[in-house]
Every structure is written in C-alpha cells, then in structure tokens.
A and B are shown apart, each in its own frame.
Chain A
C-alpha cells in the first residue's frame, strides 16, 4: 500500500492500534475506504468497531499507527474535517433538553451553510416530528434525529455507527435508500453494523473485524460468490458418495439413497457437472447469505463463541 493517499481514498488507516490499558481495542488495522463507495464495517459487539470510528473522529488517540481522512489528519485538521463528516454515534445521547428543531438548528449553525430545507425534507422523509423535545423521544425517533444531523450538511464522508438500530423495518429501508442516494451523489459512507442484511443491500465492500483485528475485506458480490452454501440434490436413482467426495470445494458429502447433501465453498460448477451424469429430480441450494459467509470467517479462526454472538 502506498504511504499517504490519493483523492481516491476517503479513509486510510495504517497500523492503527489502540489499547485500553492491557485490553485490546483495535490492533494493526490497515483499512482503506475509497472515495464514493459504501463500506460496511462488520463485526460482533466488542470487536473494535466503535473504537475504530472514535479514532477516525479524533475522540481517541492511537497508541500506534495513524489515520488519514479525506487526505487530512484527524487531530490537526479536526475543525476542517468535521465540517465534511457526518457522524452518527453508536450510543446516541443528545446534549440539552431542547426540541429536535432547536437542536438541529444548533448543528446547522455550527457547521454553517446548511439550508433549513435540508433538515425539514430529511425529517419529512423519516417521518420525524421536529417540534418535540429530543429527550422525550423514543429510541427510534432519537435515531432519526441522529440520522438527520448526520446527513443534513451533505458531508463528503458519512461515518455511521450502527445506523439502523432502533429503526423499524420501513425506516430501515428508507435509510438504506438514503445511503444509496448519498453514494450516487458522490459521498462516501463508512457504516458499522453487526446486522449483515442491511450491509448486504447497501454496501459495495465490507470489512470484517474480529477481536480487534481486521479479518477480511471483500466486495459484497464476491463475498456472495465464495460463500459457503449447503446443497441438496435428489437423483432419479441411488448414487455413490465416492463420485462427489473428491470434487473441488465440496465437503461434508452425505448420501442417503438417491439424496445427496453436501457443502460447497465457492463455485458450484464441478458439483453440477458431476451431478449431470445422473437424472436430477430436484436441486436445493440454501441462499448464500453474508451471515453464513461471515460465520465461516469465524469458524476458520479460534473464536467460535464470537461466531455465535455474531449470528444475532
């Protein structure tokens, strides 16, 4: 990786490391988020997602390594940088007791040049009543206020920590549409989640963290392709397991009379070609979703208990 960055890179971290005493927050994180992409940042709770985000925003200072955001230094250029960042905290708490409108007016004034119509149209879109005090709002409505303040100044970079938490499914869809529109407008989105479905439909790439370390960075579609899927084939006649055991990517072969069950990692082609020598009555393949792929990363490592936690 080149030192420094080009305008193609919105977020770059090199060897980014943060310990809390002896406890690891994040270690040796090398990450790049390209300008104009949506990157999902996945991992179970406690994996280091929020630590990473707080390092990017200069709330925390790294023990080692560094980050560059939009070509700038998070600490030295904080004032300039935060005008171009929209941030949604993972643990949302609002300062003060004012109405949503007054609070958002403060954020608008502080950032400058935010047309009030940008606020009202976002509020309308998310079905948010701005006249109510934020403190008295439900979790979902607070989340909407958080989203409005993150999107309202059309920042070059959106850093969203667990953006859909507390939103009902309809609003989650609306949020994902907002993310896609942001990408279409050239904005970069870096969003953390422990729920994979939301990332799957909006992200271009995902970075997976586990135990404070980067486990993988993948394109969403290639993650789908190399996904582990379970396949069940019903043949016209009984088959022998030996025909299928040696095939590339095929494991866990079980044959019960005319029914074959196995697991395929990667391309389906070798299995299909082998199966075609028989009469195929039915073929069932479990939808390759990120959840399973995600879990496979965990099962290959030591942390199987993390995998259980991640499956939520």
Chain B
C-alpha cells in the first residue's frame, strides 16, 4: 500500500496530471501523424528558411523521418510542454501549499520533515514521469504504424532524454520550492534557467566561437547529441538524471533545516 500522503498528492493533482498527459500525448500524435502530408511542405519550409534559422531551431533536416521528429516533437513545443508540466507539479509539492496555507495540516502528518519531502517528491516525480513518457508511448505505436524509418532504439533514446530533461528541471524546481517556499521563485528560477540554457544550446549551433556554450545546457545533453540519428548517449543521459536527483535530494535536506510557513 502506498503512503497516504503520496495518494493524497496524486488525488489533489489528478486533473493536472491527466490534462498534461493527454495534452502531451495528443500533441505528439498530431505532429507525428502529419508526417506523410507534411513532406511537400517540409521541403518548401526547409528551402524557404535561412540556414541559420534552421540551426537555431535545431532543425537539421526536415525531410528524413528522424529529422522531422526532431524538428517537431523534440525541438521546441515538446520539451516546452513537458517542462511546464514538470515545473508546475514540482511547485505544488511544497511551495504552493506553503503559500496557500494548506501546508500546516499536511505537515502535521506523523512523518519526519525528510519523509514528508521525500513522499511529496516521489509522488510528483512519478506524475511528471507519466507525462514525460507520453511521447514515447505514442511514438512506439505511431512510428511503425506510419512506417517512419527511425529505429525504435533511437526513438527510445530521444524519449528517455526528454524524460530526464524533465527530471532535471523538476529537480531544480523542487529545490527552489523546498528552499524558499515561494511559487513565484520556483517559476522565475526554472523559467530563466530553461530559457537561458535553451538559448545557449541554440546559439552554440550558430557560431563556431560559441560551441562551448552548449556544454552548459541541459538541452544539449537531451537533443544536441542527436539521439534520433545516433542512438543512446549514456553519459549525457546520466548527467541529466544526476542533476535532477542531486538538486532534488539537496531540496529534501534543505527543507529539513528551515522554518516553514513564515
């Protein structure tokens, strides 16, 4: 039997979890489903857009199936949706109840501070994982069904990268919430970090002098390694997971050391 607090967290967040999971799933399905109709248009688009613009958007080529998936599901909107979900749910673990006052009765549960933070974290991480693997589930069905020529292993590698990118930012969001108890701080810190590191990765594609920038970006370790063409990059994936886990555990430790609800 799962701990009551974990079940309570899921129950309170169930609308958001179902909504995000459906949204991400539908988004992935629609974009992937467009592949066959899109071929002509893609050619036009590829020719119409300047090379620099394509590089910035992370679109290597839109004609190959792998390039198409990278340009649509894995470039901008996919990670954006998944990260918004990850940050929202992570902000609900501590920061939101602390701001709206519900924290006192949650924290009055017979759990140590650490156990409380861990259970909230695990519940949110499971929900975020569910949403972040939706593209994987959809693509596992659609890629073979439409006959896109991308190896299942490469799709899996990219999807796991997306999941671990979500973990990475969820960890940062959880840490910020556990430390400050302020939802505004969570959204500001993760929002600025996401935009800045996305830009860093994108800009490093444009200039030869700025290639080092990408190494500072989680987006590089997620998609810059080109998993749809080249498959698994365990080092990059482990780094993303490591950032997520380290920040989350730091949050658990720091939450045990501060005043709550002041």
Contacts and interface: CB of A to CB of B under 8 A. Distances in A.
Contact of A20 (B12, B102, B262): B262
Contacts of B97: 95
A57 B106 CA distance: 12
B100 interface: yes
Interface string A35-59: 0000000000000000000100111
A32 to B, nearest CB: 23
B50 interface: no
B115 interface: yes
What size tier do the contact residues of chain B reach? 20 to 34
B105 A95 contact: yes
B110 A82 contact: yes
B113 interface: yes
Nearest to A84: B110
Contact of B11 (A92, A98, A107): A98
A89 B108 CA distance: 10
Contacts of A107: 105, 109
A111 B110 contact: yes
Contacts of A94: 102, 105
A257 B113 CA distance: 70
B10 to A, nearest CB: 11
B101 A93 contact: yes
B112 A89 contact: no
A20 B259 CA distance: 10
A229 B216 CA distance: 76
A28 interface: no
Interface in B220-262: 257-262
A97 B15 CA distance: 11
Nearest to A20: B262
A79 B102 contact: no
A109 B4 contact: yes
A87 B108 contact: yes
B8 A85 contact: no
A245 B160 CA distance: 90
Size range of the chain A interface in the assembly: 20 to 34
Contact of A91 (B101, B107, B110, B112): B101
Contacts of B115: 79
A59 B260 contact: yes
Interface in A71-104: 75, 78-83, 85, 87, 89, 91-98, 102
Contacts of B105: 87, 89, 93-95, 107, 149
Interface string A147-163: 00100000000000000
Nearest to A91: B101
B43 interface: no
Contacts of A79: 110-112, 115
B5 interface: yes
A53 B101 CA distance: 15
Contact of B8 (A57, A87, A89, A106): A106
Nearest to B104: A89
B203 to A, nearest CB: 42
Contacts of A75: 113
B149 to A, nearest CB: 47
Interface string B129-151: 00000000000000000000000
Interface in B89-131: 97, 100-113, 115
A54 B8 contact: no
Given A81-B110, A82-B110, A106-B4, 14 more contacts: A60-B260, A75-B113, A78-B112, A89-B104, A91-B101, A91-B104, A95-B12, A96-B12, A98-B11, A98-B12, A107-B109, A110-B5, A111-B110, A112-B110
Q: Which 6 A-B pairs have the closest CB atoms?
A: A93-B101, A95-B102, A83-B110, A109-B4, A96-B12, A82-B110
